[in-house]
Structure 1
Amino acid sequence: MTDDTHAKLDNLLRSANIRLGRIQRNRLAWPVDRYGAPTLGGHYEGLRHGGVIVLTEPPSGAAAELFYRSLHSGCAVVIPFGENPGFDFLKSKLTEFGTVSPSAEGPHELWWGGIGWSKLSASADGATIRPRIVSYYPFGSDPDDIRSLRRSLDELELDSHIEPVAAELGEQVLCFEKAEFLARMWQRYSEPLLFVEAGATLCEAPLLPSALGCDVALHKWNRWEMSARTLYLGRTARAGQLLRSWHHLAASYPSIWDGYLLDQAWGLTSSEGPLDTVWLPRSYHAMKGDLAAARATILHSEQTTTTSLGPDPGFAGLVRAARRAGRTGARDAFMVMTSEAANENGVAVILRDIEANDARAVAATVEAVTGAFAADCGGYKRFELSLCALKDDLGAAQAAAQQARYRILEIAPGQSIPRDFFAAHAHHPADHAVMTARHPFP
């Protein structure tokens, strides 16, 4: 990216009052470098010439349709307030490329997408780092099951590590055993890792994740369900944190399906810092019978299906809507911050009615409350922020905070948040289980 393009990007962010962290800024610079100069999305009609369109307000249904029709494969769309469910409808029409979760430096989720993967896939040709392909098979199983994978790795001249593992259930490898295997590979090798199931075949070198330089890359089956059949881990601290969280959850709940626990590890890691995630295209998770199997990068041996991969239909109701939009839901903390306070006291702030309010008002309130905690934690060790659009979301967030025995503070978009917000509450009598804007704070 030229100095002039850098300057234009910085001017756009400054003029639009968009606050990004360093990792989010770097991610935004990536599509700007490849798609072209950024512009603020304001008009929705007429074919666009290309470039990166930055949207700060969610368009209505009709406007979203017009905006979508104005795009082509040479356009990328960036939403700097991706945590707001008001953008969900537009996201559902676009191809989702990735997200960068919030941090104290940039307290919003950066979402980016576009029209198809053709332009991004072409960038894989310029990848300078190749991942090590890792896989396993149950000890004592038929080694012919991995012959196709080994052959494809040899043909593509890719470094790899495939080994047998002693699975407790014979030929069924538990999530804990998969996470433990990946943890060992993480310690053993220094390059990025790309895990694929042993029955898979690599049809071409899977270089897209390393070309994008992300922390983690995986595919969402049916646009919401995280699959652990193809999993890329970059050599970053955040990728290591995700792996440790997944490993810990799998050790605690060994009988739960690996995709569900990977989902929860992703949500936990995303809330604690800027996790740069790429949502891989179907070509990296193709299955037998897929219409696009002939153009697959990674072809798994299982037959394709339109149903969920995991066994628990109840899990979909908890996370599906949020995951389809590439964001955490009300049952997950959107953002977690910690302080140097010498105690274990926690405070949960619930920002309600986010979908019924202006996106800018929601964003400003998020920035105000996270800034207040950074300025004065009020003696709280841990701060969790949850975003709620519906009444059911509110109840779920309150229940989660009560279970953690946190002080619960409920706020609304546009509410004034003073710098001593948390300090004032630390000395305020906890007369109510949940303090809301209807109870004025001193």
Structure 2
Amino acid sequence: MMRQHPHGIDQDPAQALSACGVRLGKQQERRLQWLARRFGPLTLWDGDAVSREGRTLVIIDPPTGAGAELLYGALTAHDAIAIPFGEDPAFDFLKSKLTEFGTVGASSEGPHELWWGGLDWRLPSDDRRTDALRIVSCHPRTVGDLHVYHLRRSLERLGLPFEIEPVDTRQRNSLSAAEKADFIMRQWQRHTAPLLFVEADVMLQSVPKLPVLTGCDFAVHKWNGWEMSARTLYFGRSEAAETMLRTWQEIAASCPDVWDGYLLDQAWSLASSQMPLDTVWLPRSYHAVAGEAGAGTAAIVHNLKPASTDLGPDPDFATMVRSPRRAGRVGASDSLLVVRSEAKSDRAVTVILRDIEGSSPRLTAASIQALTDAFAVDCGGFSRLELSLCPWQQDVRIAREAAFLADNKVIEVTPWQELPPDLFRAIAASEAARQPDTITTYRR
């Protein structure tokens, strides 16, 4: 296991982690620095399970089952865990014992997903007002203003700027995902403050500071560990936040009758694979249900049945995305990373990095970095690289099918292979001799 950097990792996180094979993007480095300020100094975990309050433990190598138990037992509410290789399923067991706080997506600059969490959300103790935050909500025109009485009164009591509007809807008493996304986009274009969208039947009991104080791009609550709820959504004033919102709007417009949480999930997968989207997973205090234990001290209370356990239309809906989302990472049907080139073509290449369950996270990470570096040096005429991680053979099959549907060239590699810098040029040169649906397994 790695020992703490002798000069202190928080002095230069990028340089210290680079020695461990971690390449950070600017947004990921910014998040680690924020964690160090909020929870305590960044420390490379070395297997030490001694309980000390106020640390940000950076986990490079996944602990064994027993090691994860010891680590979990030594944590306090004042500690945070950061996993720079958050895309690797080897960390799933450790993640399952912790509360997810957030992720920062991959990019060519930092081709890994940074995952961070802890025992439970400890809301920042900050007395600063968040007047810049604007609360927005909408409701079907047919339900009338009485429907928003409690929301309006709570916002006026807290002194928060807000916008509540009736909108025309296809269905008399409900909003579709497209109608909701269109409303939020109009508010985005009208105002310059970060937006917190809430459903019209909620009540705010305290100022919802968390998304603003974390400085994230996007914040959402997940039910049952994976189902994204479109009832409380935060969009910061950043290019990544706008991309997330526009992506959701476009997908929702194309699939107006699909459950809004699933469309939000798909938009998040697309956005986080193409830019370092800084996501915060909102705690239950932002999605409390009226009448349940803890609702009295929650920030936002929702008018839902206390027995509600599933927001989806079907308990078996989109089963294949549940496990990856529960671990805070994208699954095999989605790309971990999408890198675009300057090539003037419509050809895209999907690289399936398979058999990673038999590889160490460091070796897998080195392969990811080698692939992105090779594409940056010579894209081979491909306009886009889509990189998928596949621990198991079923994942390989799913990734292949998704790539074929997109008419992408498919390449399969393993973490222990040496990849030449002209890999994509060589693949492009051999493409003409192969059928369009041929899978290339690169061997050295």
Name the TM-score, length of structure 1 as normaliser.
Answer: 0.95
The SS at the match of 1:299 is strand
Query: In the alignment, what sits opposite 1:329?
Result: 331
Query: In the alignment, what sits opposite 1:291?
Result: 293
Q: Given the superposition, is the C-alpha separation of residues 370 and 5 from structure 1 closer, same or farther in structure 2, using an over 3 Å criterion?
A: closer
The answer to whether the 8 Å contact 1:123/1:208 transfers is: no
- Alpha-carbon RMSD: 1.6
Deviates more, 1:170-179 or 1:45-54: 45-54
Query: In the alignment, what sits opposite 2:69?
Result: 65
Query: In the alignment, what sits opposite 2:347?
Result: 345
**CA offset at residue 343 of structure 1?**
1.0
**In 1: Cα distance, 2:370 partner to 2:247 partner:** 29
Counterpart amino acid of residue 369 in structure 2: E
**In 2: Cα distance, 1:4 partner to 1:52 partner:** 12
2:146 counterpart of 1:144:
yes
Query: In the alignment, what sits opposite 2:239?
Result: 237
The answer to whether the 8 Å contact 2:131/2:161 transfers is: no
**In 1: Cα distance, 2:67 partner to 2:18 partner:** 26
**CA offset at residue 248 of structure 1?**
0.5
**CA offset at residue 91 of structure 1?**
0.6
Query: In the alignment, what sits opposite 1:20?
Result: 24
2:37 counterpart of 1:45:
no
2:32 counterpart of 1:31:
no
The answer to whether the 8 Å contact 1:139/1:166 transfers is: yes
**In 2: Cα distance, 1:301 partner to 1:344 partner:** 48
Counterpart amino acid of residue 389 in structure 1: P
Counterpart amino acid of residue 22 in structure 1: K
Query: In the alignment, what sits opposite 1:363?
Result: 365
Counterpart amino acid of residue 65 in structure 1: E
1:264 pairs, out of 263, 266, 272, with 266
Q: Given the superposition, is the C-alpha separation of residues 136 and 128 from structure 1 closer, same or farther in structure 2, using an over 3 Å criterion?
A: closer
Q: Given the superposition, is the C-alpha separation of residues 68 and 127 from structure 1 closer, same or farther in structure 2, using an over 3 Å criterion?
A: farther
**CA offset at residue 314 of structure 1?**
3.6
The SS at the match of 2:127 is helix
Structure 2, unmatched stretches of 5+, are 1-6
**In 2: Cα distance, 1:378 partner to 1:90 partner:** 39
The SS at the match of 2:242 is helix
Identity of aligned residues (%): 49
Query: In the alignment, what sits opposite 1:89?
Result: 93
2:215 counterpart of 1:210:
no
**In 2: Cα distance, 1:243 partner to 1:124 partner:** 28
The SS at the match of 1:163 is strand
**In 2: Cα distance, 1:104 partner to 1:127 partner:** 36
Q: Given the superposition, is the C-alpha separation of residues 127 and 209 from structure 1 closer, same or farther in structure 2, using an over 3 Å criterion?
A: farther
Counterpart amino acid of residue 109 in structure 1: E
The SS at the match of 1:328 is coil
Runs (4+) of structure 1 moved beyond 6 Å? none
Q: Given the superposition, is the C-alpha separation of residues 130 and 375 from structure 1 closer, same or farther in structure 2, using an over 3 Å criterion?
A: same
The answer to whether the 8 Å contact 1:94/1:114 transfers is: yes
2:422 pairs, out of 408, 420, 434, with 420
Counterpart amino acid of residue 435 in structure 1: T
Counterpart amino acid of residue 51 in structure 2: L
1:433 pairs, out of 412, 421, 438, with 438
2:275 pairs, out of 269, 273, 276, with 273
Counterpart amino acid of residue 85 in structure 1: P
**In 2: Cα distance, 1:345 partner to 1:365 partner:** 23
Deviates more, 1:4-13 or 1:390-399: 4-13
The SS at the match of 1:340 is coil
Query: In the alignment, what sits opposite 1:177?
Result: 179
2:114 counterpart of 1:106:
no
The SS at the match of 1:102 is coil
The SS at the match of 1:409 is strand
The answer to whether the 8 Å contact 1:73/1:114 transfers is: yes
The answer to whether the 8 Å contact 1:222/1:306 transfers is: no
1:115 pairs, out of 112, 119, 122, with 119
The SS at the match of 2:196 is strand
The answer to whether the 8 Å contact 2:136/2:197 transfers is: yes
Query: In the alignment, what sits opposite 2:227?
Result: 225
The superposition leaves residues 285-314 of structure 1 with CA deviations (integer Å, 9 ceiling, x where unpaired) of 111232221221000011133532010334
Q: Given the superposition, is the C-alpha separation of residues 129 and 322 from structure 1 closer, same or farther in structure 2, using an over 3 Å criterion?
A: farther
**CA offset at residue 32 of structure 1?**
0.6
**In 2: Cα distance, 1:127 partner to 1:90 partner:** 36
Query: In the alignment, what sits opposite 1:307?
Result: 309
**CA offset at residue 145 of structure 1?**
1.5
The answer to whether the 8 Å contact 1:44/1:64 transfers is: no
**CA offset at residue 6 of structure 1?**
4.6
**In 2: Cα distance, 1:15 partner to 1:367 partner:** 14
Counterpart amino acid of residue 160 in structure 2: L
The superposition leaves residues 39-62 of structure 1 with CA deviations (integer Å, 9 ceiling, x where unpaired) of 111214322343111001111111
**In 1: Cα distance, 2:422 partner to 2:323 partner:** 35
Query: In the alignment, what sits opposite 2:60?
Result: 56
Structure 1, unmatched stretches of 5+, are none
The answer to whether the 8 Å contact 1:21/1:103 transfers is: yes
The answer to whether the 8 Å contact 1:372/1:421 transfers is: yes
**In 2: Cα distance, 1:165 partner to 1:117 partner:** 35
